[in-house]
Amino acid sequence: MHPRLRRTENTGNPARKPSLDLNSRVRGVPSPHAALTRAATEFLTLHHAENALGDPARRVSEALTEIGATGTYRHTPDELSFGARVAWRNASRCIGRLYWRSLRVLDRRSLSRAEDLAAACATHLREATHGGRIRPLVTVFAPDAPGRPGPRIWNEQLIRYAGYARPDGSVTGDPRTTGFTALARRLGWPGGPGTPFDVLPLVIQGAGGAPRWFELPSDAVLEVPIEHPEYAWWAELGLRWHAVPALSCMCLEIGGVCYPAAPFNGWYMGSEIGARNFGDTGRYDLLPCIARRLGLDTASDRSLWKDRALVEVNRAVLHSFDRAGVTMSDHHTESRRFLAHLDREERKGRTVGADWSWIVPPLSGSATPVFHRTYDTVEQRPAFVHHPEALARARGEADATLVQTCC
């Protein structure tokens, strides 16, 4: 234990304020634990400050002692929940952070076997779906520890559609997932029926094991058929999309501890599906098809056929989710909510990091209030973090026999 921490803890005067900057208390701690002790001290100090828990010295002392003995430390359930919520608050690419305090946290740190994670992921989706009233949710599995890596979920999201690459270069399904689809096939997944919307299996690597695939139960995947409020022919296209956007390849980092498997979700903003998933040329690329069905002049971009088709695709998505009773926001509403979040956080003296290129919606950006200002690009902890090796797994670029490595 650091000697100055001991003197603070043993004063016997609970009313006495901390006399030191807690960051200074970890100076001089030798490697290899210096970075972890610094991160732990900063997080535990933040937790105590924001929750009015008083002097954090005793808790910091406990954590540093545990780090010295084991190379890591264990968060209390309250610390875990607070850390996960603040990680959402700090997500610089997310426009929907106004409700960060509402994030439900499922503590599943006792789970590290692949089959247990697969079952818990299905439970996550059922609870997040909530009959269509989507709930923000994170499930946190076992963390990395020295010599004991935690489990990994290889999927980019718990629900994605397969992309089957054809010999002629075309793709049936989602071109974004062709690499991951091929990887799942190499692991033994037989593939789905071959539609554009076959749900991919989960690929999970248990602690110390090889990756395995698991089919998601049908009752864990709510899908919404996409129809248009005016054009009856739209239903003939057979479009649909899943209700819960649950990211699963990001590491949750809290106070220096890495939770490599921590799937989390909010709810969709309509343009994520209508403008990106359906509209991008590297995804389902629906705009030419929709424009032809609408009778638009596609000979020249100056006719704005892409813009007109894009609006109708987004109208169809919003209409369909509303009709199905599934939670979805639109980009105008979410933009106003983000500015409300920004104002609320700044009044509390907190800096809000934001990436303009992600915060501004991909549809009618300049018609939303988030377009007309700049943002701080600071990265803060706790955070949901992309690690290169996790991105490689999600793209299907990793060898299927890849052994786990700590973050």
End-to-end CA distance of the chain: 26
Phi/psi at 402 (nearest 5 deg)?
Answer: -55, 130
Q: Comparing 26-35, 155-164, 287-296, 382-391, which segment has the lowest mean pLDDT?
A: 26-35
pLDDT on residue 208: 84
pLDDT on residue 370: 97
Is residue 379 part of the annotated active site? The answer reads no
pLDDT on residue 2: 35
pLDDT, mean of residues 370-376: 94
Is residue 267 part of the annotated active site? The answer reads yes
Name the percent of the chain lying above pLDDT 70.
90
pLDDT on residue 405: 41
Q: What is the pLDDT of residues 299-321, one digit of tens each?
A: 999 999 999 999 999 999 999 99
Q: For residue 31, what pLDDT band results from cuts at 50, 70 and 90? A: low
In whole angstroms, what is the distance from residue 154 CA to residue 396 CA? 9
In whole angstroms, what is the distance from residue 242 CA to residue 259 CA? 26
Q: Look up residue 36 and give its two tokens.
A: 């972890």
pLDDT on residue 173: 98
Q: What is the pLDDT of residues 248-279, one digit of tens each?
A: 999 999 999 999 999 999 999 999 999 999 99
Name the percent of the chain lying above pLDDT 90.
88
Identified catalytic residue from 42, 156, 272, 334: 272
Helix spans in 242-398 (H): 270-271, 287-294, 305-324, 331-347, 356-359, 388-394
Check: CB of residue 148 under 8 Å from CB of residue 173: no
Place of tokens 């479009």: 239
Is residue 94 part of the annotated active site? The answer reads yes
Q: What is the pLDDT of residues 323-371, one digit of tens each?
A: 999 999 999 999 999 999 999 999 999 999 999 999 999 999 999 999 9
pLDDT, mean of residues 144-165: 97
The count of C-alpha atoms lying within 13 angstroms of the C-alpha of 131, restricted to the half-sphere facing its C-beta, is 0
In whole angstroms, what is the distance from residue 160 CA to residue 184 CA? 12
pLDDT, mean of residues 391-407: 67
Q: What is the pLDDT of residues 242-251, one digit of tens each?
A: 999 999 999 9
Identified catalytic residue from 25, 94, 156, 249: 94
DSSP state at residue 215: P
Identified catalytic residue from 267, 312, 334, 389: 267
Task: Specify the 3-state DSSP secondary structure of 157.
Answer: strand
Phi/psi at 236 (nearest 5 deg)?
Answer: -65, -20
Phi/psi at 336 (nearest 5 deg)?
Answer: -65, -40
Task: Specify the 3-state DSSP secondary structure of 193.
Answer: coil
* Rg, C-alpha atoms of the chain: 23
In whole angstroms, what is the distance from residue 195 CA to residue 298 CA? 27
401 or 252, which is more confident?
A: 252
Q: What is the pLDDT of residues 194-219, one digit of tens each?
A: 999 999 999 999 988 999 999 999 99
Q: What is the pLDDT of residues 100-135, one digit of tens each?
A: 999 999 999 999 999 999 999 999 999 999 999 999
DSSP state at residue 214: E
Check: CB of residue 73 under 8 Å from CB of residue 67: yes
Identified catalytic residue from 85, 97, 152, 160: 97
Is residue 97 part of the annotated active site? The answer reads yes
CB atoms within 10 A of CB 167: 5
pLDDT on residue 217: 98
Contacts 24+ apart (CB under 8 A), 121-125: 121/153, 121/158, 121/202, 121/204, 121/216, 121/248, 121/263, 122/216, 122/217, 122/220, 123/220, 124/158, 124/246, 124/263, 124/265, 125/158, 125/159, 125/216, 125/220, 125/221, 125/244, 125/246
